[in-house]
A and B are shown apart, each in its own frame.
Chain A
Amino acid sequence: DGGITQSPKYLFRKEGQNVTLSCEQNLNHDAMYWYRQDPGQGLRLIYYSQIVNDFQKGDIAEGYSVSREKKESFPLTVTSAQKNPTAFYLCASSIKGTEDTQYFGPGTRLTVL
């Protein structure tokens, strides 16, 4: 089955620790994205990548880092510099670019204690 997987579904971390969220896709899509969603709010773009080894900051990139070493994978690291990291994190991909339909993973709910 083709799709996007995110793991884990729930993640708990202590304040001050870095944590990496996984996102994998087997859709052969070039573009991948990370969004953050807070309760009752819309999605805000953190980072996106349109090609391997290249990525751009979104609206709220501070305190986050990404890598895109493989086409299928786009991990997101939430660093200790992120002031309020507790949120629902969503990964998405699209065929080529930002004009294409996006396909979303199931999300990871991160809680920082």
Chain B
Amino acid sequence: DAKTTQPNSMESNEEEPVHLPCNHSTISGTDYIHWYRQLPSQGPEYVIHGLTSNVNNRMASLAIAEDRKSSTLILHRATLRDAAVYYCILRGYQTGANNLFFGTGTRLTVIP
């Protein structure tokens, strides 16, 4: 199964950019890279996803390495409300249900 590897935790100062890394060295050609985040005692929420090109939306940016073996979620200005656990997951037609797997993610702490 194609799995991802993320640091257990990261810290950031408020209003500074945050770069959350994810390694996925066994990614297949048809797998999309998805990011979700989970605030305490809530369900995860979708953040962003991409296939090959970098992606931007109102929440974040996703930078994907040229070989697609790693990606980085970028929060341009961290706020206290961004403190959450961030999950990097692979999704694809071939990946299927075998990889409906959320690891422990990266716990982001934002320091005021």
Contacts and interface: CB of A to CB of B under 8 A. Distances in A.
Interface of A: 4, 33, 35, 40-45, 48, 56, 58-59, 88, 90, 92, 97-107, 109
Nearest to B103: A42
B43 A48 contact: no
A77 to B, nearest CB: 20
B59 to A, nearest CB: 13
Interface string B15-55: 00000000000000000101010000111111001000000
Given A42-B102, A107-B42, 10 more contacts: A33-B100, A42-B87, A42-B105, A43-B44, A88-B41, A98-B97, A100-B91, A102-B44, A102-B46, A106-B43
Q: Which of B44, B95, B104, B105 has the most CB of A within 10 A?
A: B44
A104 B97 contact: no
A111 B44 CA distance: 21
B89 to A, nearest CB: 9
Given A35-B102, A99-B32, A99-B92, A45 B45 contact: no
Interface of B: 32, 34, 36, 41-46, 49, 87, 91-93, 95-97, 100-105
B7 to A, nearest CB: 14
Given A58-B97, A99-B91, A42 B32 contact: no
A58 to B, nearest CB: 7
16 contacts: A41-B104, A42-B102, A42-B103, A42-B104, A42-B105, A44-B101, A44-B102, A56-B97, A59-B101, A98-B97, A101-B46, A101-B91, A102-B44, A105-B43, A106-B43, A107-B43
Contact of B45 (A43, A44, A104): A104
Contacts of B49: 101
